[in-house]
Structure 1
Amino acid sequence: MTTAKPKIGIIISTTRENRFGEKPARWIYEIAQKRGDMEFELVDLRDYPMPFFDEVASPAWATPTSEVAQKWAAKIDSLDGFIFVTAEYNRSPSGVLKNALDYAYNEFNRKPAAYVGYGGVGGARAVEQLRLINVELQMAPTRSGVHIGGADFMAVWQQGKTFEDLPHLGQSADTMLNELSWWAYALKTAREADARKQEAA
């Protein structure tokens, strides 16, 4: 049986008006779209304005009452893996992303996560925190990521450069996407096998 192409969500994980995140998100999307092994879509947290988490229990045990959170969980459930495009706020990912992660659980399980970080140290500290959170959500983080450090960040944000002017980032993106593809296929195959076992039981 041939496994269908994994569907990967590229999550724009900040929502403030003057955010930078759309630039790297659209850049990684354009690179990814040139591949034939996975399908990609942009997922913008602005489209899921969830309240601060105030449910009776973790979504691991109870479906959230928030209709927006239910819509978010359905979107996550429809995807086979994720690329989190993340800023670094005080050495962590944005509060709105952490809140979104808290609003789903089972929908994230046994799916891969990759990262595009940006900021003073390429968003590395935010990415490391995301890896820990993703492990708790039973996800498989990739080892490689894309880190858009201070000089590259400023070059694109304020100096008129494009990501195409920074080929080292493209090389990092290719490595990350290759890892993501391997994990996406491996985990999708395993999830589908589990589903068949449950149906046969």
Structure 2
Amino acid sequence: MNNTTSTEQKFNVRVPRESIWKKLTRIKYDDQVLKVTIRTFASILVALSGLVLFADKVISFDLSNTYGFADTQTFIWVFMQTFSPLLLILGLIFRPYKVAIIIPLYIYFIQMYWVFSPGVRFDDALLQAYAIGAVIGFIALIAVINWYFHHATNKRQRTISQLEQALDLDLIGGIQNLIRFIVVDVKRNYIAEQDKKRFVKAYMAELDKIDKC
């Protein structure tokens, strides 16, 4: 019986496979939890990028310095118009869940409506119908555009694959003709009779090398 122990056997003794499997499972689980946490955090940022645009509607206190604006609400509204895109960009960097985009979209369409009808209240039924319909229409537009580009990309990929297959067939045909020329024509017309057996032997040896690759 051989008393020497291989490196693999020593490793298995020191670190059992069950322990390695548990550690690997825990690492994968922690990695998945981290990804979900990051995407959830990113989704919250995206949602906040829309909600902060209503900050001037809920803040009731007045600032002592409005930096030249007429009142505190106007200052906060203008400030949030700049702060909101920064939150949106920061959230998009970390790949949020797509459903989070609905909140800023909904609020953007409401603000667009208020540009033309500033006196309309937030709870107005027509305003809500417009905002919800606009969001649905916008999402449908994105889906159609995405389908079109995806379809166009797949079509181009199929065309490329067909052309590559055609080139491969031409290449295979050319190689077959070349092999036929080497095996038949060269042997028959360009090799002396006493060298033909040596040529065939060398050729078969090369084929064996290819089979072993």
By relative contact order (CA 8 Å, sep 6+), the higher-ranking structure is 1
- Report the structure number with the largest CA radius of gyration: 2
TM-score range, shorter chain: under 0.3
Structure with higher strand content: 1
TM-score (norm 1): 0.28
The TM-score normalised by the length of structure 2 is 0.27
